[in-house]
């Protein structure tokens, strides 16, 4: 890996999670209906960013944890349509950049996993919005 590469190394995993959460919060903040500051929103999103990383890197891929993240976004008052669009945009642009999977999962497999995680977040979001 080049020293100029923006992709975090394995030793930078906490930094990568925090950076991803910060980018996510900047995108999501305008579409959030709460009294949270952007820093508080970043704190709320940080564990979710770690859950996305973990789901992406699993040996036996299971996108269901991402569905719970969609639910959590709605419960955290990020239930506007733009909140979902912003979340999916951040995932599409940054998930593989900040959490590059190990070699056996690179390329098309990693992109497919990222897409399935996005679908699961969207499904969980819609499911939570529909709840009375």
Q: Is 3 among the domain residues?
A: no
15-74: pLDDT as tens digits: 999 999 999 999 999 988 888 899 999 999 999 999 999 999 998 999 999 999 999 999
pLDDT at 8: 42
DSSP type of residue 1: -
Among 3-17, 45-59, 103-117, which range has the highest average pLDDT?
45-59
Domain around 62: 11-130
Domain count, the chain: 1
Among 1-5, 80-84, 122-126, which range has the highest average pLDDT?
122-126
Q: Which residues contact 50 (CB under 8 A, 6 or more apart)?
A: 17
pLDDT at 107: 87
Nearest CA-CA partner of 94 in 47, 25, 40, 30: 25
Q: Is 116 among the domain residues?
A: yes
Q: What is the pTM of this model?
A: 0.86
Average pLDDT, the chain: 88
Nearest CA-CA partner of 125 in 31, 22, 18: 31
Q: Is 2 among the domain residues?
A: no
Decide if 16 contacts 53 (C-beta within 8 A). yes
Tokens, residue 72: 């959590």
Q: Is 1 among the domain residues?
A: no
What is the rounded distance in angstroms from the CA atom of residue 24 to the CA atom of residue 45? Answer: 8
Give the start-end residues of each E strand in 37-128: none
Decide if 117 contacts 56 (C-beta within 8 A). yes
Tokens, residue 120: 């699961």
Tokens, residue 110: 């990693």
């Amino acid at each position: 890996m080049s020293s100029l590469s923006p992709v975090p190394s394995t030793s930078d995993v906490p930094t990568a999670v925090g950076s991803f959460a910060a980018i996510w919060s900047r995108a999501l903040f305008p579409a959030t209906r709460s009294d949270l500051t952007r820093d508080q929103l970043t704190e709320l999103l940080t564990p979710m960013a770690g859950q996305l990383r973990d789901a992406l890197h699993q040996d036996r891929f299971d996108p269901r944890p991402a569905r719970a993240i969609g639910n959590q976004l709605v419960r955290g008052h990020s239930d506007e349509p733009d909140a979902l669009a912003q979340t999916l945009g951040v995932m599409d642009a940054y998930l593989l950049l900040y959490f590059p999977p190990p070699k056996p999962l690179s390329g098309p497999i990693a992109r497919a996993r990222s897409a399935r995680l996005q679908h699961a977040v969207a499904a969980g979001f819609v499911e939570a919005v529909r709840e009375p």
